[in-house]
A = this chain, B = another copy of it.
């Protein structure tokens, strides 16, 4: 057995310190040690969201996947029977539409083609057409297509069209990966998960809530979800507790990734993740692939390989050479290959993956010019060349 690089867009490669944190003596969640960990994780998560303490936001940690955290946000903020606007251009956007329908909301949905980005002006149109909508639900980084939505413009359109509607955002693969400014952009509930940009194992979801989302929560007194009720979590987590028994090992294991993010700085991390993903994309293009998305996300390089290779062939070839990438979902299962650097990777890993991709495409019968992929990746990485860390200290 060789070591298999985990290049899927989550779960991601984790730092060795994460394993140590997971395997420590079993903590009891009602102990001072555990309370200190929950508090520190909430503080570091707020920093990862770019939220200073003075902003008055609350970041909640839930024992649930990102999907559970999205449901917590939607169901806790919008009572059943009321209206929401949802937009999609991929699987996750469609999931939020389906979820809102399952929760008994009146859903106004508009879908765009997979691989395209939701045009911000469509958001304004839809919100003006449905002035009773309580919330807009959008995906920032659409992981199924590797598309980064223009959330800043979408939020601005939404605010102009209906200042009262809450902005509920799926930032599962954008937190700690691409520019995300909940405060400056006027977002209200920003959801993410542990196994993506913060570099932890899967099993935890996060919801960052604006002061007006908190006020909306606290004024609600209706039936709804129980386990995923953010009102109970808010009350408990403000006191350093959680409403129910949390996956405390997983919470503790977030510290190494969050501390690394804090030390590196958000903007530098966004630049680095973008450079790594662009480098591997450049390698793919130089080797005959085309980019699937019209507006690529730094969460994953999303490539359509040249004939005769399919996405699934390339995934298999990569696996045979020591890397687990991911194919597509649903209708594009066989069309694309997705390669992500959200986890514990540096720029030299991107070079390594360019080499892997070059040889995997060759294995699939693609005629490649030896070295073209590696050279293209290295050119991108060279352009983004940061100072050595030691020189910065």
A247 at the B interface (CB under 8 A): yes
A248 to B6, CA, bound (A): 14
Stretch from A222-230, A264-272, A286-294, A361-369 contacting the other chain: A222-230
In the complex, residue of chain B having the shortest beta-carbon distance to the beta carbon of A69: B227
- Give chain B nearest CB distance to A172 CB in angstroms: 10
Which one of B13, B28, B229 contacts A6 once the chains associate, using CB atoms below 8 Å? B28
A324 to B32, CA, bound (A): 12
Task: Give the residues in chain B near A195, CB-CB below 8 Å.
Answer: 245
A11→B248 contact, CB < 8 A: yes
A24 to B16, CA, bound (A): 10
In the complex, residue of chain B having the shortest beta-carbon distance to the beta carbon of A74: B226
B23→A6 contact, CB < 8 A: no
Task: Give the residues in chain B near A168, CB-CB below 8 Å.
Answer: none
Which one of B23, B227, B229, B247 contacts A23 once the chains associate, using CB atoms below 8 Å? B23
A102 at the B interface (CB under 8 A): yes
Which one of B229, B246, B343 contacts A202 once the chains associate, using CB atoms below 8 Å? B246
A65 at the B interface (CB under 8 A): yes
Candidate in A28, A29, A193 with the most chain B CB atoms within 10 angstroms:
A28
A:213-242 near B, CB below 8 Å = 223-229
- Give chain B nearest CB distance to A222 CB in angstroms: 9
A226→B99 contact, CB < 8 A: yes
- Give chain B nearest CB distance to A297 CB in angstroms: 18
Q: A223-B101, A227-B64, A227-B65 are in contact. Are A245 and B26 (CB under 8 A)?
A: no
A202→B22 contact, CB < 8 A: no
A176 at the B interface (CB under 8 A): no
Task: Give the residues in chain B near A203, CB-CB below 8 Å.
Answer: 63, 203, 246-250
Task: Give the residues in chain B near A229, CB-CB below 8 Å.
Answer: 102
B63→A28 contact, CB < 8 A: no
Chain A interface residue count, Cβ-Cβ cutoff 8 angstroms: 59
In the complex, residue of chain B having the shortest beta-carbon distance to the beta carbon of A229: B102
In the complex, residue of chain B having the shortest beta-carbon distance to the beta carbon of A194: B247
- Give chain B nearest CB distance to A72 CB in angstroms: 8
B3→A28 contact, CB < 8 A: no
Task: Give the residues in chain B near A22, CB-CB below 8 Å.
Answer: 19, 22-23, 249
Q: A203-B203, A250-B247 are in contact. Are A11 and B24 (CB under 8 A)?
A: no
A249-281: contact bitstring with B at CB < 8 Å (1 yes, 0 no)? 110000000000000000000000000000000
A244→B11 contact, CB < 8 A: no
A27 at the B interface (CB under 8 A): yes
- Give chain B nearest CB distance to A291 CB in angstroms: 23
Could you pull out 23 A-B pairs where Cβ atoms are within 8 angstroms? A3-B25, A11-B248, A12-B26, A13-B26, A14-B26, A18-B26, A20-B23, A28-B326, A63-B63, A63-B64, A63-B65, A63-B203, A64-B227, A65-B247, A71-B225, A71-B227, A80-B223, A102-B226, A193-B245, A203-B247, A225-B228, A228-B228, A247-B250
* Residues in A lying within 8 Å of B, measured CB to CB: 3-4, 6, 8, 10-14, 18-20, 22-31, 63-68, 71, 80, 98-99, 101-104, 193, 195, 201-204, 223-229, 244-250, 324, 326, 343
